[in-house]
Amino acid sequence: MAKLLTNIGCLLGIDNPGGGLKKGVEMRQINQIDNAWLLTEGQFIADFGAMTELPEATAGVEIVDLKGAWVFPAFCDPHTHLVFAASREGEFIDKLNGLSYEQIAANGGGILNSAAKLQKMDEAILYEQSAWRLQQAALQGIGAIEIKSGYGLTLADELKMLRVIRKLKETSSVLVKATCLGLHAIPREFKNNKAAYVNLVIDRLIPQVAAEGLADFVDVFCETNYFSVEDMVAVIAAGDKYGLKAKVHVNQFNALGGVKAAVQHGALSVDHLEVMEEEDLVALQGSNTMATVLPGCSFYLRIPYAPARAMIDRGVGLAIASDYNPGSSPSINPELNMALACIQQRLLPEEALNAATINAAAAMDCAAEVGSIAIKKRANLAVTRALPSLAYLPYAFGEKKVIRTMLNGTFI
Ligand code: NIG
Ligand code: FE
């Protein structure tokens, strides 16, 4: 049923139809209408405007008086590992006792720990608990999300994860994008033969995933003790053959030259970027590759934050994601991630909102469908109580401001 939302205190994140990613200074721009209305038709935004020009109520339109509440485009989260078998708070205690992420992984924790648990888990249970997490994300105002495989680490278990993600796509009202992250860690069986595992992923996993339509993107963890720049380029090329764009993990702990190579090979996004050298920053300038920063991961691991301010100042397009996963970012909270981006990475509130909405949508290739308030886009909205200003959103960190989420024209 069509809905007419009236008395919106402030409608923010308004875009022209077809408006896409924002780069550099453009990220300071947030269009808004105070005292607004918005009309949905089916799953989409049909129109919006100022209350002074409210359209006549027509039959068949449900009127919802928002009584001054603020309306944002629902948040988009373009980098998560939401499908996992179990939390890892044992490693959290190890971390509190002084072990680093690398030391925890070397002691049998980390990604291999998650993989061992996921390999044993039944697909139906994996789906059930992932669906619950996705619903929690929606309740926090998330309307579109990318979810990676990468805790399977065998052909069968990577496919199992991707089938779970496909089922989430089919059953959730959140827009879900799937990424094949076969090269997330070197499985124990391949400890002394990494090349054989890389070949398995490139020659068998990616072609099968493409044939079954199980992924939208490919990814690889390009890092010391994980996968090289050369491995990353091979994955990007393998994805290219099937029209699967690349979103890659680079520069989390070490700058290996992965940013430049990813940009040169047309990656959709480069993610993490905590350790950036001049050549990495230069590579991003003028490119359409989205720099995706993961402040929750820096907060939780106590590692440096990506130099987001410097990237925006150099004209780069920047997105914020949660990196939600049990090992390096056990929280998906979009409001908290925006606050961290402002407080720790010196984004302005307008930049953080663009980074968490339209640019985050662009980082998963769905900016034409979601990420802003525009006619014909999905009616995906995050509603907060009346706020004193946009700045209040990241300022009052930890306070939950989103009170309702609309997805595809329906309040969840
Ligand atoms: O993005 N860095 C690689 N992958 C994840 C962490 C995965 C894990 O620790 O389970 C990340 O931080
Ligand atoms: Fe990640």
pLDDT digits (tens, 9 = 90+) for 221-266: 999 999 999 999 999 999 999 999 999 999 999 999 999 999 999 9
pLDDT at 16: 76
pLDDT at 19: 72
Which H or E element spans position 335?
helix 334-345
CB burial of 334-353 (b: ≥16 within 10 Å; e: otherwise) equals bbbbbbbbbbebebbbbbbb
**Site to substitute for ligand 1 among 107, 111, 324, most atoms within 8 A of C-beta:** 111
Low-confidence ranges of the chain (pLDDT < 50): none
Q: Is the CB of 328 under 6 A from ligand 1?
A: yes
Determine contact, residues 43/379, Cβ cutoff 8 Å: yes
**Site to substitute for ligand 1 among 81, 104, 247, most atoms within 8 A of C-beta:** 81
pLDDT at 107: 84
Q: How far does residue 57's CA lie from ligand 2's centre (Å)?
A: 47
Indicate the domain borders of the chain. 2-74+372-411, 76-362
pLDDT at 349: 98
pLDDT digits (tens, 9 = 90+) for 88-120: 999 999 999 999 888 888 888 899 999 999 999
pTM over 0.95: yes
Q: How far does residue 44's CA lie from ligand 2's centre (Å)?
A: 31
Q: How far apart are CA 291 and CA 308, in angstroms?
A: 8
What is the phi-psi region of residue 315: left when phi exceeds 0, alpha when psi lies from -120 to 50, beta otherwise?
left
Smallest CA separation from ligand 1 atom 8, residue:
327
pLDDT at 317: 98
Q: How far apart are CA 97 and CA 79, in angstroms?
A: 28
User: Is the CATH code 3.20.20.140 the one for domain 76-362?
Assistant: yes
pLDDT at 96: 93
Alpha-carbon separation of residue 27 from 20, 31, 289, 358 (angstroms): 11, 11, 15, 10
Kindly compute the dihedral angle of the four CA atoms of residues 272, 276, 280, 281, in this order, to the nearest 10 degrees: 100
Alpha-carbon separation of residue 368 from 3, 375, 388 (angstroms): 22, 11, 30
Nearest atom within ligand 1 for CA of residue 327: 9
Question: Would you state the structure tokens that stand for residue 283, as one six-digit string?
Answer: 């590579």
User: What is the homologous superfamily of the domain 2-74+372-411 according to CATH?
Assistant: Urease, subunit C, domain 1 (2.30.40.10)
